[in-house]
Amino acid sequence: MRTMRWISISLIGAAATLQWGCGTELDPTDDVTQSYSSALAGDFMEPAVASTGTGDIDVALDKDDVLRIEGDFDNLVADLRTFGGGAVHLREDTDQETARSLFTFDVDVNDDERGGTFSEDIELTADQVQAFRAGRYYITVHSAAYPDGELRAQLTESSPSVSGIDDSWGLMLTPEAQPHDVDSDAEGWMWAILRRDNVLVISGVVDNLSSDLVEINGGAINLHDTDDDEDTGPLLFNLDYEMIDEDSVRFWYTATLSTEETLRMKADDFYVNVITEDNRDGEVRADITHDDRNFFEEIWDDVMDDRDPTTEDPPF
């Protein structure tokens, strides 16, 4: 699995190896040698990200090695983010830590800037046809919340699918959410997505931690259930994480819940707790509740108010 990066440093210059056709649209008379559809989802990012976004990619390769790609997506958690020439990229899996960006698409963006459509004919070289047929190409859609990619689709006939979203939560992690006193300026955001097949996807970030993370009972960032009539409860999962810098951390996790766990989560009984050296009971917390959940439109306004957009990258 690739190391997670805050800001993608894709090798856009590699796009020079791709030539794209002008007006060579595939139609029913074209001799198509391979065609299929693939789903766009945050679950397919490496590692997975929690996204309400959905989309589909239609792919066709003709006898002249022209690759036709058409796609649509909507319901991103944040606005599209353009970098390296576009917000939607065709990439190739390589042995490099960061996958190469081969091509950027022009996107017809929806009015809410959380979705759009794109299409293009791309003339492939013989080596590129081989890479495409080997399943090394994929599409990424990038947003302000997830600059490394919010949605991904692998261009293979055997690409996986995902079930629909049953519920979703956009939440702040704060010291004030803890049931005990915490002296900290730390703050973060997270999304949790529950799919209809009981797959839970969580991802988020915390900045300005007061001290180093400490792993207790196997993890420093954990998902908990709450005991009846209590503010705390048993640990369910240790979330995966990586440090961005000395006081910022990014975290993620995917799990399949039992039927009982799904019911308890939808009953507002789960929370995420971040443990540090100076706050071993937890420095920041987010209760995954419907009564208090703060959707990302509001969260993002607050987060972006704290930065200078002319000099700073988004704080994630």
Q: Tokens 């859609």 correspond to what residue?
A: 141
Is the pLDDT at 163 greater than 90, yes or no? yes
- Numbers of helices and strands, H then E, in the chain: 3, 19
Q: What type of residue is 54?
A: T
279 and 186 Cβ atoms separated by less than 8 Å? no
| 3-state SS, residue 294 | coil
CA dihedral 224, 202, 173, 168 (to 10 degrees): -100
Is the pLDDT at 227 greater than 90, yes or no? no
DSSP strand E in 196-295: where?
199-207, 221-225, 235-238, 240-245, 248-256, 270-276, 279-288
Percent of the chain with pLDDT over 90: 72
Between CA 283 and CA 316 the distance in angstroms is 18
Q: What type of residue is 305?
A: D
Over residues 271-287, mean pLDDT:
98
**165-192 burial, b for 16+ CB within 10 Å, e for fewer?**
bbebbbbbbbbebbeeebebebbbbbbb
Between CA 125 and CA 131 the distance in angstroms is 10
For residue 299, name the pLDDT band (cuts at 50, 70, 90): low
Q: What is the pLDDT at residue 129?
A: 96
| 3-state SS, residue 244 | strand
pLDDT digits (tens, 9 = 90+) for 173-211: 999 999 999 999 999 999 999 999 999 999 999 999 999
Between CA 267 and CA 256 the distance in angstroms is 17
Between CA 32 and CA 230 the distance in angstroms is 62
| 3-state SS, residue 14 | helix
SS3 content of the chain, % helix, strand, coil (to 5): 10, 45, 45
For residue 16, name the pLDDT band (cuts at 50, 70, 90): very low
Over residues 303-309, mean pLDDT:
49
Over residues 298-303, mean pLDDT:
56
Q: What is the pLDDT at residue 280?
A: 97
Element (H, E) at 165: strand 165-173
Is the pLDDT at 65 greater than 50, yes or no? yes
Is the pLDDT at 275 greater than 70, yes or no? yes
Q: What type of residue is 15?
A: A
Residue closest to 316 by CA, chosen among 138, 223, 191, 177:
191
Provide the H-helix boundaries in 108-221.
126-133
What letter does residue 292 receive in the DSSP assignment? S
pTM, 2 dp: 0.84
Residues 122, 123, 128, 129, CA torsion sign:
positive
Q: What is the pLDDT at residue 292?
A: 54
Is the pLDDT at 19 greater than 70, yes or no? no
Structural domains for the chain: 12-154 (no CATH), 165-305 (2.60.40)
* Mean pLDDT, the chain, integer: 85
Q: What type of residue is 144?
A: A
For residue 96, name the pLDDT band (cuts at 50, 70, 90): low
